[in-house]
Structure 1
Amino acid sequence: MHVLEVLPPRLYPCLNSQKRAILRTLQISIHPYPSYEARKERGDDRTGLETNEVALQQLYDLISGTVNRGEGNSCLILGPRGSGKTRLVERCLLNIPNKPIILRLSGWTQHSDRLAMREIAHQLNQQTGTTIFVHPDDVPRNIDNDYPDRELNPFLDKSVSSMLVSSASLPLSSHLPTLISALPTLPRPTIVILDGFDLFSLHPRQSLLYCLLDTAQSCHSGAKSRGLAVVGITTRVDTVNLLEKRVKSRFSGRILRTAPPQDLEGWIEVAKATLMPRVLDENQEKSYNEEWKSLWNMAIEKFLSDRSVTKALNETFSITRDIRMLNKIMASLALHLAPTSPFPSVSQIKATVLSQRIRPRSPFLHTLSYPALCLLIASVHVDSTGHSTFTFEMLHECFYDQLRTSLSAPVQVNGGSIGMAFEYLVSVKLFTCIAPSTGVAKEFVKYHSVVAREDVKKAVDKTGQINLRKWFTKAQ
């Protein structure tokens, strides 16, 4: 069976279903890594992939104890950026059979305990509808009607404009213990996810962390409480040391570690799991027939085995191991699928990988005039002598020292002098003035070059000028 270049109309729904499945996989990350069991069967024991699977099982056991037995638990998920910490939590919550109450807080957003309290109250009202935490939409629009819980509810603004709905205000810090202690009494178990856990330790007295961990510690299996689990997410390895003694004593000490793939094969496995999702919803399964499945699987196997694709992924992997970068590449491939190009191609992934790279700051260096290139090389020589700043006279002297040793270096080319070249480099901001002064002559004003040594070397190599290349290599 060969891979189709143009998709027949009968398979259009299958292509759309495949695109939705890939994007859904990238969004909720159902299969960020191949399953440990599948890799174990083929003798693959790469550590980076196994680390996340072990952490997933440990987190699942912890949350299951809270959901099924009403336990109080706490843990910290630690790993570098892009190693799958948030993805790990989302995968675990998807597999929990009895859906608990999930409270999501972020240290980047909730800068104080009062902001965190208001967010907790808002999310509790959205998920439980309890009258303890009244939502602004529940306030009567007629202000003449007396609302019995208005005075007792600290999460409502008591100043209500005529015919307008009240907005939630910041509650007092004294209400924090009451709010947190009410979590185990809710109808369902509660999971509190603290993203940026280390930032919460910067709050005064760490009151929020103390109340959460103290309440979780007081929950016991078999009691009347529904259970509370506190899951922290952080990248700082010294987060536990940031906790106060009274807070640290209430933390369970469980630290689950995550790690990105350690080699290129791991990245390719992630890409394959993304492009070939194994979980589809009911609507997708209706249009996901066997013919399309065979065509798609064969095309992906051929695509990932191509040397150009492996090279493109390897170049990105050598720069960053962040899975989020790979997800961006996979998302771009999925969005460019069309009936005229129904399968990923080498040209698409090359263009996608290139679009994620940082553009060179000065891609036109090799087109500069000969005197301008000489000034750039002179700035490299001056910098190599320990002078990060320079004046025109310093570069001029360096240029003429080279001129005296090499008569092949002209002072003027096509009507352009060394002075005009210097003024041009200043105008295009390759040389920036750092100490302007009205009492200093132009030739003695200090400048700084924004062009890196490597960029100058590439520009000199592109020109093919042997004498410039020899002069550049003299800079130590």
Structure 2
Amino acid sequence: MSKRRTNDAPMPIGECITQLQKCLRERLCRQQPPSRLEASEAQHKHLLELLKRTAVHGESNSVLIVGPRGTGKTALLKCVLRELLQEKEVQKNLLHVHLSGLLQTDDRIALKEITRQLNLENVVGDKVFGSFAENLAFLLEALKKGDRSRTRPVLFVLDEFDLFAHHKNQTLLYNLLDVSQSAQAPVAVVGLTCRLDVLELLEKRVKSRFSHRQIHLLSSLSFTQYLDRVRSQLSLSDGFPDRKFAEDWNASVQNLCEDKSVEEVLRRHFHSSKDFRSLHVLLMLCVSRVSVVNPTIKPADVLEASRLCFSDAKSNILHGLSILELCLVIAMKHLNDVYEGEPFNLQMVHNEFKKFLQRKSNSVYNFEQAVIMKAFERLQQLELIRPVDGSSARTQREYQLMRLALDHSQIMEALQKYPQCPTDIKQWGMSVFG
């Protein structure tokens, strides 16, 4: 009886908040596979069966998981692997190699990464191979069991699969798919891509070695399911150390999801992107505001998190400009208005700025030509202005044609929020004709 009271005894609020932060951060940062899969059961079953044939029966396979970003391709694979690795035999035998087309930009880097992930650096040593195929064959040969009866199965996951099609001669794809087809070793090749036309990118010899199995994921999410996902991601499980705190927290999450202002914010996110990763960013910003002083997520926290998610990066950059740089941006805005978006150069911007100075007769904003040029170059470094395509780099800097990478509304918003912006500059920026 005393032991039960000890387990149910309330924890200090600070410790509860720490445990809460740890639990939700692990969940929202995608360090754990989702407990419930949004993809259809048929897709899960299909992929599990394919990988089980390789891991258990030594049968080679290749498959593509295709779908728009955020539809759960990686989550599907993680859930399948988690279920597959629950079998002890699979856990001991299956080797997993993860490659990304964004990181392994050529076959040499990819082969080096394969060697590293298979822990075969010492086996390869200083050996020299005549071709990529020989090197890969040697690596797979080195994975044979001690009794030499068979090779350990290897799962190759190729994230951003379409980028591997841009490698020279598609050597990596050809050899991996050739091994999977020729039954030299039990190999499963799983590609993840958001391009529906990915097969058109493959060379004929590569396409002929691919199994043409494809698993398509499409987002058919409703707003009700989206709201349920928010509720489930923020709710605490029964295993939380302090049961009373967990009950109170889950009740507050339920009330939060029923709040009309919160529902409006979530509906806006739902219509802008059904990607769960962007939702997790929003929820993570809300969770980070939870503290001992603020032990629950309030509607105001969701509104502030949404404002941060939808904030314009370029407008934020404008808030950090110097007065001179802001004046040059305003001068460019007026040039855009007068010349209807035609490109401009530093000399034109300087002339527009001088017109403002002449009207104000204010010596405070008088700067030397070298200082103005330096400010103009910094705006280019910040990518607020960019050179016109095809403009000659040999043109004198004062006359090199540029375009403004900001629109009218961004500049207006920045002027309103610029800290302690001088009144005359704000009026100049707001004026129609400069």
- The residue that corresponds to 1:340 in the other structure is 293
Distance 1:355 1:13 in 2: 28
Q: Aligned-residue CA RMSD in angstroms? A: 4.9
- The residue that corresponds to 1:28 in the other structure is 31
Larger Rg: 1
Counting only pairs closer than 5 Å after superposition, residues 318-397 of structure 1 correspond to structure 2 as 318-356=271-309, 357=311, 358=313, 360=315, 361-363=317-319, 375=331, 378-384=334-340, 386=342, 388=344, 392=348
SS in 1 for 2:126: coil
- The residue that corresponds to 1:194 in the other structure is 158
Q: 2:408 aligns with which of 437, 441, 453?
A: 453
- The residue that corresponds to 2:257 in the other structure is 304
- The residue that corresponds to 2:46 in the other structure is 58
Identity, % of aligned pairs? Answer: 25
SS in 2 for 1:412: helix
Question: Please, which runs of 5 or more residues in structure 1 have no aligned partner?
Answer: 1-7, 36-48, 126-132, 137-152, 159-168, 220-224, 401-409
Q: Given the superposition, is the C-alpha separation of residues 114 and 411 from structure 1 closer, same or farther in structure 2, using an over 3 Å criterion?
A: closer
Q: Given the superposition, is the C-alpha separation of residues 53 and 469 from structure 1 closer, same or farther in structure 2, using an over 3 Å criterion?
A: farther
Q: Given the superposition, is the C-alpha separation of residues 250 and 352 from structure 1 closer, same or farther in structure 2, using an over 3 Å criterion?
A: same
Corresponding position: 1:109 with 2:103: yes
Question: Please, which runs of 5 or more residues in structure 2 have no aligned partner?
Answer: 1-9, 418-422
The one-letter amino acid of 1:119's match is E
- The residue that corresponds to 2:241 in the other structure is 287
Corresponding position: 1:230 with 2:189: yes
Counting only pairs closer than 5 Å after superposition, residues 65-464 of structure 1 correspond to structure 2 as 65-96=53-84, 97-98=86-87, 99=91, 100-125=94-119, 133=120, 136=122, 153=123, 155-157=124-126, 173=132, 174-180=134-140, 188-219=152-183, 227-260=186-219, 264-276=223-235, 285=239, 287-289=241-243, 291-356=244-309, 357=311, 358=313, 360=315, 361-363=317-319, 375=331, 378-384=334-340, 386=342, 388=344, 392=348, 412-413=359-360, 415=362, 429=376, 449=404, 451-458=406-413
1:166-191 per-position Cα deviation (integer Å, ceiling 9, x unaligned): xxx99963232343467686565332
Distance 1:431 1:206 in 2: 41
1:175-221 per-position Cα deviation (integer Å, ceiling 9, x unaligned): 323434676865653321112322333334333323322332344xx
1:51-94 per-position Cα deviation (integer Å, ceiling 9, x unaligned): x6553343223223333443322111223333332222112111
In the comparison of the two structures, how many residue pairs are matched? 395
SS in 2 for 1:231: strand
Distance 1:243 1:340 in 2: 57
- The residue that corresponds to 2:7 in the other structure is none
1:208-259 per-position Cα deviation (integer Å, ceiling 9, x unaligned): 323322332344xxxxx98432101123333212222222112111222334
Q: Given the superposition, is the C-alpha separation of residues 113 and 339 from structure 1 closer, same or farther in structure 2, using an over 3 Å criterion?
A: same
Q: Given the superposition, is the C-alpha separation of residues 275 and 30 from structure 1 closer, same or farther in structure 2, using an over 3 Å criterion?
A: farther
TM norm structure 1: 0.64
- Indicate if the aligned counterparts of 2:64 and 2:191 stay in contact, CA closer than 8 A: yes
Distance 1:207 1:377 in 2: 50
- Indicate if the aligned counterparts of 2:151 and 2:186 stay in contact, CA closer than 8 A: no
TM norm structure 2: 0.69
Distance 1:226 1:12 in 2: 54
Q: Which has the higher contact order (CA 8 A, sep 6+)?
A: 1
- Indicate if the aligned counterparts of 2:67 and 2:193 stay in contact, CA closer than 8 A: yes
Worse-matched range after superposition: 8-17 or 333-342: 8-17
SS in 2 for 1:28: coil
SS in 2 for 1:251: coil
Distance 2:344 2:54 in 1: 60
1:85-113 per-position Cα deviation (integer Å, ceiling 9, x unaligned): 22221121111132332222223333444
Distance 1:88 1:18 in 2: 26
Shift of 1:469: 7.0
Q: Given the superposition, is the C-alpha separation of residues 209 and 470 from structure 1 closer, same or farther in structure 2, using an over 3 Å criterion?
A: closer
- Indicate if the aligned counterparts of 1:70 and 1:227 stay in contact, CA closer than 8 A: yes
- Indicate if the aligned counterparts of 1:431 and 1:450 stay in contact, CA closer than 8 A: no
Distance 2:151 2:80 in 1: 21
Q: Given the superposition, is the C-alpha separation of residues 277 and 199 from structure 1 closer, same or farther in structure 2, using an over 3 Å criterion?
A: farther
Q: Given the superposition, is the C-alpha separation of residues 313 and 70 from structure 1 closer, same or farther in structure 2, using an over 3 Å criterion?
A: same
Q: Given the superposition, is the C-alpha separation of residues 195 and 460 from structure 1 closer, same or farther in structure 2, using an over 3 Å criterion?
A: closer
Distance 2:245 2:294 in 1: 14
Q: Given the superposition, is the C-alpha separation of residues 335 and 385 from structure 1 closer, same or farther in structure 2, using an over 3 Å criterion?
A: closer
The one-letter amino acid of 1:19's match is Q
Between structures 1 and 2, the one with greater helix share: 2
- Indicate if the aligned counterparts of 1:29 and 1:87 stay in contact, CA closer than 8 A: no
